[in-house]
Structure 1
Amino acid sequence: MTFTFVLVIFLTLPFLTLTATQASLCRTSCGNIPINYPFGIDDGCGSPYYKNLLVCSSLSKLELRTPSGRYPVKSISYSDPHILVTDPFMWNCQDGDDFRATRPFSLDTSTHLSLSSQNDYLFFNCSEQNVIIEPKPVFCERFPERCDSSCDSSSYLCRHLPECALALRTSSCCSYYPKATESLRLMLKYCASYTSVYWRNTGENQPDDQVPEYGIRVDFDIPVTTRCLQCQDTSKGGGMCGFDTSTQNFLCLCDRGNVTTYCKDHSISQHRRNSVIAGTVTGVSVVGAFGVGAGIWYLKKVKAKAPVTCGVQSNENRLF
Structure 2
Amino acid sequence: MAAAAVLEAGSVRHFEELLQKSDKSLLVVHFWAPWAPQCSQMNEVMAELVKVQPGVTFVKLEAEAIPEVSEKYEITSVPTFLFFKNSQKIDKLDGAHAPELTKRVQRHASNASFPATSNSAPKEDLNERLKKLINVAPCMLFMKGSPQEPRCGFSRQILDILNKHKLQFSSFDILSDEVVRQGLKTFSNWPTYPQLYINGELIGGLDIVKELEASGELETMCPKAQSLEDRLKALINKASVILFMKGNKQMAKCGFSRQILEILNNAGVDYETFDILEDEEVRQGLKSYSNWPTYPQLYVKGELIGGLDIVKELKESGELASVLKSGH
Q: Larger relative CO (CA 8 A, sep 6+): 1 or 2?
A: 1
Q: TM-score, normalised by structure 2?
A: 0.21
Query: Which structure shows the bigger proportion of residues in helix conformation?
Result: 2
